[in-house]
Structure 1
Amino acid sequence: MADFDIYSVIGMFGTVCIIGAYGYLTAVEKPNPFILHGTNLVGASLLTISLVVHTNWPSLILEAFWATIALWGLTKAIRGRRRTEEGARES
């Protein structure tokens, strides 16, 4: 069994972030996309740090997709906020 080193601790924090974001999504009727996707992005990034040291290719690929989807969600949220702000200024 591998030692439980700092990279394992970092990966555990990443796991907590991703599980926390999923719990938040399930618990809240209208989740804030910045909290949801931001937490997922932090979690995927932390897990990636751990996986670069303790390489597990399937998990590393999963985290790359997880981070990409989180960035996509954040981009959509930013664009939505801008549209809302522009609409409010025009009113």
Structure 2
Amino acid sequence: MTPVSVLVNLLGWAGAAAMLYGYAMVSASRMAGDGMTYQAINLVGAAALMVNTAYHAAWPSAVLNVVWGAVGLASVTRLLSARLGEKGARIP
């Protein structure tokens, strides 16, 4: 196994662990499903799995993770915009 292959596999496992952690926390009502923490975990996990599945030419999974990442990116962007809007509204 090459060093790149090992790194890509570790990245894939870390992405899977991140997404499972987020799902478990939301399912246990320990994290809000519409909160920044969950969305960031999903975005990072999807990106890691996207790299792993593309490297291994698992195209259905790679496409799924591209879409999952796009949803996560849109959610994070929306949450950041809302936060910045709130802060801007408080400035006199």
Tell me the TM-score range normalised by the shorter chain.
0.7 to 0.9
Partner of 2:52: 50
Does residue 21 of structure 1 match 2:7? no
Aligned structure 1 segments of 4 or more residues deviating by more than 3 angstroms: 29-32
Closer/same/farther in 2, CA of residues 84 and 55 from structure 1, 3 Å limit: same
For structure 1, list consecutive stretches of 5 or more residues without a partner in the other structure. none
Closer/same/farther in 2, CA of residues 52 and 41 from structure 1, 3 Å limit: same
Closer/same/farther in 2, CA of residues 29 and 61 from structure 1, 3 Å limit: closer
Give identity over the alignment, percent: 21
Equivalents in 2 of 1:80, 1:6: separation in Å? 36
Closer/same/farther in 2, CA of residues 32 and 7 from structure 1, 3 Å limit: same
Equivalents in 2 of 1:15, 1:45: separation in Å? 10
Shift in Å at residue 12 of structure 1? Answer: 0.9
Equivalents in 1 of 2:64, 2:34: separation in Å? 23
Partner of 2:62: 60
Task: Please give the secondary structure, in 2, of the residue aligned with 1:28.
Answer: coil
What TM-score, normalized to structure 1? 0.80
What TM-score, normalized to structure 2? 0.79
Shift in Å at residue 55 of structure 1? Answer: 1.1
Aligned alpha-carbon RMSD (Å): 2.1
Query: Between Structure 1 and Structure 2, how many residues are aligned?
Result: 87
Shift in Å at residue 47 of structure 1? Answer: 0.8
Does residue 78 of structure 1 match 2:70? no
